[in-house]
């Protein structure tokens, strides 16, 4: 489902107002918002321009799963400052690639998990070496 309704309401616009600003018929806006119509590229560009966003912003962001409180771990408890700095750099690079559409949401999620698992593995090895 597109984010058109949420973005339109954030501007305080009616469907008619958005239709006017986008140069579309109000019925088109209604059908897009209810999922009865899949907009073409030109329509997406008109909507994005009217709403003051990029076309990619018309699509919902992937849901990021949340850990339950019992599963949360502070990185400072399991990783060195150097590991955390490296992870932050890698995560920022991945985020930029995802935003640019260079990698899929699934590739992004898998890479994030790999980075965090590598940090946990390294901290586990360091603890064994110290013990």
State pLDDT tens for residues 35-48: 899 999 999 999 99
Domain stop point among 37, 58, 79: 58
CA distance 80 to 66: 24
Give the number of residues written for the chain. 131
In angstroms, how far is CA 13 from the centroid of its own chain?
A: 25
Q: Flag whether the pTM goes above 0.75.
A: no
CA 106 to chain centroid, in Å, comes to 11
Residue 89: CA atoms inside 13 Å, Cβ hemisphere, count?
6
Tokens 């799963």 belong to: 65
**Does residue 64 lie in a domain region?**
no
Indicate whether 45 and 93 sit together in one domain.
no
Range of the domain at 54: 4-58
* Region of poorest pLDDT, from 7-11, 44-48, 54-58, 61-65: 61-65
Q: Are 40 and 70 in contact (CB under 8 A)?
A: no
- Number of domains, the chain: 2
Residues 82 and 41 in one domain: no
Instruction: Choose the final residue of a domain: 58, 82, 104.
Output: 58
Say yes or no to pLDDT of 76 above 80. no
Give the model's pLDDT for residue 64.
56
pLDDT tens digit string along 85-98?
A: 888 888 889 889 98
* pLDDT at 6 > cutoff 60: yes
Q: Which residue has the higher pLDDT, 131 or 4?
A: 4
Domain match, 73 and 122 both: yes
């Amino acid at each position: 489902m597109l984010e058109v309704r949420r973005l339109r309401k954030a501007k305080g616009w009616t469907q008619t107002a958005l239709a006017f600003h986008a140069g579309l018929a109000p019925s088109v806006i209604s059908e897009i918002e209810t999922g009865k119509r899949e907009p073409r590229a030109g329509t997406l560009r008109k909507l994005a321009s009217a709403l003051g966003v990029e076309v990619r912003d018309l699509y919902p962001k992937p849901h990021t799963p949340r850990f339950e409180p019992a599963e949360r771990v502070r990185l400072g408890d399991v990783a060195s400052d150097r590991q955390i700095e490296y992870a932050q750099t890698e995560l920022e690079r991945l985020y930029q690639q995802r935003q640019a559409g260079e990698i899929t949401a699934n590739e992004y999620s898998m890479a994030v998990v790999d980075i965090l698992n590598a940090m946990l593995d390294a901290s586990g090895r360091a603890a064994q070496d110290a013990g």
